[in-house]
């Protein structure tokens, strides 16, 4: 079968890559499109899978996003027309569901954060199937028109599926000049381009970095989302703080870190799966998945940067992670290909 997959953010490459590789292993033809944002295209280049770039980032405002969508959607339609796609898949793309609906292509939208209201009002209503974790209550998704049987819920976290085959690459520490025996903290900046944050940066981040510098024996790696964040943090001139200018293997860093402090969702959940203590500085409305992780003690909310503590964690804690079969997720995501669960 011919499957169309669209990427509009960095994390989507990590989430969907195992599913794409399974599809291709089974003999299906998968065509990729991507919107340049953060490190999305960079990760696709590192993967080496052919893709087509369509559209551009429109900014964090409603107007900017509307203009970008208005420009990208016709390009998506032109791209998809005549290619005889059998189905389509995306995680959070607001362009694929309307394009696929207009072209008569069955399509699935995936989500695991329920408060991106505008995005879900579009995606969930236009998608043929909505795939979400079972931690999200049904009533939180029904408001977007996502109800069973259109709504399919999977057990656990999406990270437990795409990290099931994962082993950290220790060479990432060498490339960044880090001592494996030292204390390592990874900090993930806010997705300031997201509509639910309205373009704002996280005001607590400088205080977090100051606290980690004061710890003395800790090296901090800040994973910024764009060039502006790289320059802003680099200009602080903080000792033992590294800000990579290009995409690095964030999963390996998180697996080997002794602490993650993150303003995003995916990396917090990766840390929870990989056995790394995680502290959230996310400013948006708390989602059900994070509520579950907090209740389980796998994620903490930052109350005061001065109270951040970092200790050496047990070696290879990542080996104790919950592993789920990505083939199971694929069957739920694309029943047209796999025949259903």
pLDDT in tens, 255-267: 999 999 998 889 9
Structure tokens at 330: 């694929």
SS3 213: helix
Give CA torsion, residues 42, 48, 54, 60, to 10 deg: -30
Give CA torsion, residues 120, 124, 125, 128, to 10 deg: 160
Structure tokens at 19: 């599913």
Residue length, the chain? Answer: 341
pLDDT in tens, 43-53: 999 999 999 99
Q: Is the pLDDT of residue 302 over 50?
A: yes
Over residues 109-138, the mean pLDDT reads 97
CA angle 264, 3, 10 (to 5 degrees): 20
Question: 163 and 15 in contact (C-beta within 8 Å)?
Answer: no
Q: What's this model's pTM, rounded to 2 decimal places?
A: 0.89
Domain annotation for the chain: domains and CATH numbers = 2-164+323-338 (3.40.50.2000), 171-320 (3.40.50.2000)
pLDDT of residue 63: 55
pLDDT of residue 94: 92
Task: Report the greatest alpha carbon distance in the chain.
Answer: 60
pLDDT in tens, 51-80: 999 986 655 455 555 565 678 999 999 999
Under DSSP, the state recorded for 285 is P
Phi/psi region, residue 59 (left: phi>0; alpha: psi -120 to 50; beta: rest), is: left
Q: Is the pLDDT of residue 319 over 80?
A: yes
Beta pairing partners, 34: 7, 53
């Amino acid at each position: 079968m011919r499957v169309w997959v669209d990427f509009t953010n960095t994390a989507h490459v990590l989430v969907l890559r195992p599913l794409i590789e399974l599809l291709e292993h089974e003999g299906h033809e998968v065509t990729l499109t991507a919107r340049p944002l953060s490190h999305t295209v960079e990760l696709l280049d590192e993967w080496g899978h052919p893709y087509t770039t369509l559209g551009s980032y429109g900014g964090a405002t409603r107007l900017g996003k509307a203009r970008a969508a208005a420009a990208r959607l016709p390009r998506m339609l032109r791209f998809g027309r005549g290619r005889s796609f059998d189905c389509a898949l995306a995680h959070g793309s607001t362009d694929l569901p309307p394009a696929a609906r207009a072209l008569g292509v069955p399509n699935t939208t995936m989500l695991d954060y329920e408060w991106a209201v505008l995005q879900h009002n579009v995606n969930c209503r236009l998608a043929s199937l909505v795939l979400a974790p079972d931690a999200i209550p049904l009533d939180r998704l029904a408001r977007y028109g996502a109800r069973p049987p259109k709504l399919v819920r999977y057990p656990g976290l999406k990270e437990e599926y795409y990290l099931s085959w994962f082993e950290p690459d220790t060479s990432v520490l060498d490339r960044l000049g880090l001592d494996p025996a030292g204390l390592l903290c990874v900090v993930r900046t806010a997705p300031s381009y997201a509509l639910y944050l309205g373009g704002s940066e996280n005001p607590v981040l400088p205080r977090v970095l100051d606290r980690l510098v004061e710890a003395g024996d800790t090296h901090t790696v800040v994973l910024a989302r764009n060039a502006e964040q790289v320059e802003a943090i680099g200009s602080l001139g903080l000792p033992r703080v590294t800000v990579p200018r290009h995409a690095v293997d964030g999963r390996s860093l998180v697996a080997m870190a002794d602490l993650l402090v993150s303003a995003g969702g995916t990396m917090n959940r990766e840390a929870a799966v990989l056995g790394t203590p995680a502290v959230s500085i996310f400013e948006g409305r708390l989602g059900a998945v994070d509520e579950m992780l907090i209740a389980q003690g796998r994620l903490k909310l930052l109350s005061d940067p001065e109270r951040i503590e970092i200790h050496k964690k047990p070696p290879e804690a990542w080996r104790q992670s919950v592993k789920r079969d990505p083939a199971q997720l694929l069957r739920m995501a694309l029943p047209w290909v796999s025949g259903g669960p």
